[in-house]
Structure 1
Amino acid sequence: MNGKRVALTATAVAALAAVPVSQTQAEQRARPKTAKYVIVLQGDGMGTAQRDLIRLVTVGNRPGKELHMNRLEHAGLVHTDPADPKQAVTDSAAAATAFATGVKTFNGAIGVDAQGKPVRTLLEDARRMGKATGLVTTSQVTDATPAAYAAHVSDRAQQSEIARQFLEQSKPDVILGGGEDYWYPAGTEGGWPDHPATDPSEASKGDKGNLVEKAKGLGYTYVSTRDALRKARGPKLLGLFANEELFEHREEGKGDLYDPAVPLPEMASKALSVLSRDRDGFFVLIEEEGIDEMAHENNAGLMIKAGAALDATVKVAVDFARSHPGTLIVVQGDHETGGLTIENPDTADESGEELSKEDGPFTVKGTQLQVFADWTTGQHTGADTPITASGPGSEAFDGVIDNTDVHDAIKRVMR
């Protein structure tokens, strides 16, 4: 970001609710200065209001009660603007590319700059350093966020090409999530049958051949069930646990479902177990896509459920860091979705039967108080997003920064 870093006001910091663990100066001096292990956790579509609603409903508002992601040492706000000639508000592809490469680009672009030229990513940097690398998501593994860390295309819709690049170019050691349909050609079912009852439109549609078989030939262990993931051994792991996303994003009561075949904390735990065998460390991107997709549907109930899964995954990362000095943990949101605000109940203010309406009420945990989620859109907004971090170099995330600054800060300390 050009210019001086802007300090957050006390009110803004309080709103982000970071609760750092106190440390003596000696303890701080003894901490590693570089990051052997880097764990980036993304709540796609997670703005400040999403984070606060997740907090209120799942842990409450009493002193000492806090989300794990809000207990990290440092907190800031991130500008999310893309370099798009037609749109001022980012999509996930441009935002993830800024995080992954430090370069702004146009909406829909994956791992390329505004001229369409490939730009090296943090995951690719880590691999050059000899580190293990991984991608974990509740979306398709070839969706915008994971793709931006390990592929280079000008159109995020090229999901089979993205999968091919994973295998032939960036070569993540661990790939876990959904999107099996893009790994098999039309007419070839995988572990997840075509036309499932939850969404009959889903079916294999890959256009780069049988990429699951290709992955096996390259040494990946392929799994498609929770039990198989638990039993999987070996240093290279591909797990696809749904035709598309690991959930059904719909309006409330219209086929909406958040019940991943493999919960995000379990996928993350397995990834950390496999990747940490590398003596040089690792880089891993872990994404909860459900926050964004449920916000697009103005479905606050399942947005909260997805957010709780992300926070449980942050705890997995924090527990790992306790026994692995030199671990940098970053929790970020790529953009805000839904124009969410949190309101007290007001019968005179209830409105609408379509999208962009009030949703609730939701009870503040541990109290009898209730709040409503008031949506203003089903799209992305240009609001800043919260970021929290702990570990080597995490002080770089204090203040108001740009999404490209996130990349730069991680790259500086990743060794």
Structure 2
Amino acid sequence: MSTTPPPRRGRLLAVGAVGAVVLLAAGSGALAGRALDGGEETTPNRTAEGTPPTARSVIFINGDGMAATHREAARLDQEGFDGRLAMDSLPVTGLQSTDPHDPEETVTDSAAGASAWTIGEKTYNGAISVDTEGNPLPTLGAEAAAAGRATGLVTTAQVTDATPAAFFSSSPTRSEQADIAGQYLADTKPSVILGGGEDWWLPAGSPGAYPDAPADDPDEGSRGTSGDLITQAQQQGYEYVRNGAELETADGDKLLGLFANQEMFQQRAEGQGDEFDPAVPLADMTAKALDVLSRDEDGFLLVIEEEAVDEMSHANNGVRMLEAMRSLDAAVAVARDYVAEHPDTLLVVTGDHECGGLTIEDVDAEDESGPGGTSPDGPGSGATESGEDGPFAVAGSDKTFVLDWTTTSHTGVPTPVTAEGPGSEQLAGSYPNTHVHEVLRAALTS
């Protein structure tokens, strides 16, 4: 097993109960380079001569707001007691702390969390790839492009939201999404940009494929401040697509797809207008991005995000959170299929922070933890006699479980990291989120 280097800065959080459960569930064999289902010790990331190969490409997948309990709830929901998610089938397992360097807050937001991955420094909440003084720092997207690799981003959030923005732009505040879109076109120039957020690419009063003030969210509408960025992108050679059919037939080497005004879902409490039915599934966007980026003989960086895990956890919406986890794992399966055919690819799956303070419990009418979820009458019932959300069926069994939310905010528990491919052994163990940057950067710039 490779030994991870000590953190460069800050203090490593102690691994709590959630982290211990993750490592035990993953199995000590995963950390020692053994197959998760037992068997002989393997070294899949080494050549016949015993020297580590170099990663040609990197696929980095973020389940925004996803920690150990989200993954376990998804496993029970999708695969049952004896099954494994695609994301949990990767041979290397680690655990990262996520605290920011914020002057007032202990728990990170998505902007500071993603910035730690892409610039290798902890920063304040709301910051997009700037240091604690607001100075821009080199991003992984820019460094990968400078090294000759193609780059791309796929998300169910706005393409200019915190995670993709951190990899491909710099801003003192995450709210400047029109400026972030402008930086994509002027500076980092990702070959593939797929997701939501059309509103930020068009000036106010100039709706595009998705009309202003839609019925499911009248507050949405075009609000860009940098002119018609869609037209500018087309002038730069991007093929622009607006729906799944156009995405499927697109054949350009530069691709811009905007499939919603803002996020590709509606994040509300169960039964209160919540929706998870993206116009284009995350797995389809992932497959198309891989098709385009793999044409570059020098390799690529692809950043993939399922934002709804976080947003639905903010709303304590277990029904939609589990749907988002199905979406995420389907995208991971697409990425794993690609890695199986291209073993010179480093694949990393993780979450930037935990959201919801989530735990899994048995159904127990006597266990009342306060209002906030649905009652055991069923998901979406609207009842609040119990704080527990559910019950939900365990796949392939007659058993059920409930989800217990303790907050509508982020928490500071560590998040699991699973990985495979060249360099993945460096992600075993416990470390700060800035260590992920070191591993990704080494793969992309070597």
The answer on 1:364 being equivalent to 2:394 is: yes
Partner of 1:256: 274
Secondary structure of 1:213's aligned partner: helix
- Hey, what's the Cα distance between the residues in 2 that align with 1:228 and 1:339? 39
Q: Which residue is equivalent to 1:113?
A: 131
Distance of 1:302 and 1:11 partners within structure 2: 24
Mapping for residues 7-406 of structure 1, pairs under 5 Å: 12-16=22-26, 20=36, 24=42, 28-30=46-48, 33-62=53-82, 65-354=83-372, 357-406=387-436
Does the C-alpha gap of structure 1 residues 12 and 24 become closer, same or farther in structure 2, counting only changes over 3 Å? closer
CA distance in 1, matches of 2:417, 2:434: 13
Partners of 2:44 and 2:89 in 1: CA distance? 21
Residue of structure 1 equivalent to 2:4 = none
Instruction: Give the residue type in structure 2 aligned to 1:167.
Output: L
The one-letter code sitting in structure 2 at the alignment partner of 1:13 is L
Distance 1:46 1:16, change over 3 A: farther
Kindly indicate whether the alpha-carbon contact (under 8 Å) linking 1:7 and 1:400 is maintained by their aligned counterparts in 2.
no
Q: 1: CA distance between counterparts of 2:58 and 2:126?
A: 26
Residue 122 of structure 1 deviates from its aligned partner by: 1.2
Letter in 1 for 2:72: D
CA displacement at 1:412 relative to structure 2: 1.5
TM-score of the two chains, using structure 1 as the length reference: 0.95
Segments of 5+ residues of structure 1 without an aligned counterpart are: none
3-state SS of paired residue (1:68): coil
Q: SS in structure 1 opposite 2:87?
A: helix
For 2:323 and 2:387, locate their aligned partners in 1 and report how far apart those are by CA, in whole Å.
Answer: 19
Give, in whole Å, the separation in 1 of the partners of 2:136 and 2:411: 27
Q: Structure 1 residues 202-211 or 19-28, which shifts more? A: 19-28
Shift of residue 171, structure 1, vs aligned partner: 0.6
User: Hey, what's the Cα distance between the residues in 1 that align with 2:182 and 2:44?
Assistant: 48
Q: Is the 8 A contact 1:95 1:403 kept in 2?
A: yes
Question: Cα offset for 1:352?
Answer: 3.7
3-state SS of the aligned residue for 1:347? coil
Number of corresponding residues: 413
Contact 1:5 1:399 in 2 (8 A): no
CA contact (8 A) 1:77 1:385 kept: yes
Counterpart-to-counterpart distance in 2, 1:216 and 1:10: 49
- 1:281 is displaced (CA, Å) by 0.4
Checking the alignment, whether the CA contact within 8 Å between 2:45 and 2:423 is kept in structure 1 is no
Measured after TM superposition, the shift of residue 338 of structure 1 is: 0.3
TM-score (norm. length: structure 2) = 0.89
Output the CA distance in 1 between the equivalents of 2:22 and 2:157. 31
Letter paired with 2:393 = T
Q: Which amino acid aligns with 1:76?
A: G
SS in structure 2 at match of 1:298: coil
Aligned partners of 2:354 and 2:412 also within 8 Å = yes
Query: CA, structure 1 residues 108+129, in 2 after alignment: closer, same or farther (shift >3 Å)?
Result: same
Q: Residue 78 and residue 25 in structure 1: after superposition, are their counterparts in 2 closer, same or farther (change >3 A)?
A: closer
CA deviations on 1:183-236 (whole Å, 9 max, x unpaired) are 000010101111111111111011111100110111101111110000111110
What is the CA–CA distance in structure 2 between the aligned matches of 1:406 and 1:39, rounded to whole Å?
13
- Please say if residues 58 and 443 of structure 2, whose CA atoms lie closer than 8 Å, have aligned partners that are also in contact: no
Task: Provide the rounded CA distance (Å) in 1 between the counterparts of 2:46 and 2:170.
Answer: 39
When residues 344 and 97 of structure 1 are mapped into structure 2, their CA distance, relative to the original with a 3 A threshold, is same
Percentage identity across aligned positions? 51
Secondary structure of the structure 1 residue equivalent to 2:47? helix
Structure 2 unaligned segments of length 5 or more: list them. 1-6, 374-385
Query: Does the residue aligned with 2:107 lie in a helix, a strand or coil?
Result: coil
Deviates more, 1:332-341 or 1:7-16: 7-16
Displacement, 1:125? 1.1
Tell whether the 8 Å contact from 2:96 to 2:432 is kept in structure 1 after alignment: yes
How far apart, in 2, do the equivalents of 1:110 and 1:240 lie? 21
